[in-house]
């Protein structure tokens, strides 16, 4: 494992340190118009809260605010095995059990912000993708991977405190038991120099552009694409990827399908 020295890494996962990286920030292209409002500021300095305000929540409709108070219905049988690579976790599909923890987690042999664990199959694919990016002159860093139920409880509680209510927090953070990170199949990436880590401007970095083009070749899906929060339930995150296997990722890429819900014919999950 190579740990990135002094990179400006603003982490969602609790307890991971932030620091400053030498070298120039990545060159950003012009930002595209977005329905998912987010600040474009620089990463927070070291010493801030472990889950600093990285983006603003998407607009919350009356329906979604009311729905957030309603209990979720049981998930369907298809694509609900938390140990399967085809599991779909969203606001309408909680993990069963809620405190599920995967087995076989390991630390990928890539540049990482800390002890970032992933499922073994996901870790292998991450290693392959990071090596290919490096061959193309693009430096990637793994910012976060597996989060336990307890970790997600803390992360979600922070966002509720940050925004003042659950409805706003729900647009940027999953409730415990409803997070892909809890499966060990999902992770966040950054650029090796720390430019725009976990903030809107990341989508214009070389790291984001390279992974958007090549991630499917390694079995990954950009899980929360821009403009699809009505389906996924979350504001756009150009850094959040999910392992689905090459069979699925390449079919989706060829068809131009952007979300796992659409590919599998599952209902949209805009709210709980």
Active site residues: 237
At CA 266, angle to CA 100 and CA 226, rounded to 5?
90
**186-191 and 220-224: which strand pairing?**
unpaired
Nearest one of 53, 182, 210 to 105, comparing CA atoms: 182
At CA 253, angle to CA 249 and CA 257, rounded to 5?
100
Tokens of 246: 């090459």
């Amino acid at each position: 494992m190579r740990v990135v020295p002094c990179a400006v890494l603003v982490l969602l996962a609790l307890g991971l340190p932030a620091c400053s990286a030498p070298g120039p920030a990545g060159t950003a292209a012009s930002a595209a118009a977005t329905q998912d409002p987010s600040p474009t500021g620089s990463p927070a300095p070291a010493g801030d809260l472990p889950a600093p305000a990285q983006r603003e929540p998407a607009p919350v409709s009356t329906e979604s605010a009311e729905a957030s108070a309603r209990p979720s219905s049981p998930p369907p049988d298809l694509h609900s095995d938390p140990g399967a690579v085809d599991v779909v976790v969203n606001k309408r599909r909680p993990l069963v059990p809620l405190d599920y923890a995967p087995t076989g987690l390991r630390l990928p042999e890539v540049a990482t912000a800390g002890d970032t664990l992933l499922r073994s199959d996901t870790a292998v694919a991450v290693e392959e993708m990071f090596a290919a990016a490096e061959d193309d002159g693009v430096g990637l860093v793994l910012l976060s991977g597996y989060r336990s139920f307890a970790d997600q409880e803390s992360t979600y509680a922070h966002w509720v405190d940050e925004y003042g209510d659950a409805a706003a927090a729900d647009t940027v953070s999953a409730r415990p038991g409803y997070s892909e990170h809890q499966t060990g199949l999902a992770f966040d990436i950054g650029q090796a120099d720390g430019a725009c880590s976990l903030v809107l401007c990341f989508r214009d970095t070389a790291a984001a552009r390279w992974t958007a083009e090549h991630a499917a070749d390694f079995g990954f899906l950009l899980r929360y694409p821009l403009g699809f929060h009505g389906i996924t339930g979350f504001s756009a995150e150009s850094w959040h990827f999910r392992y689905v296997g090459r069979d699925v990722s390449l079919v989706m890429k060829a068809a131009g399908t952007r979300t796992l819900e659409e590919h599998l014919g599952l209902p949209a999950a805009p709210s709980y």
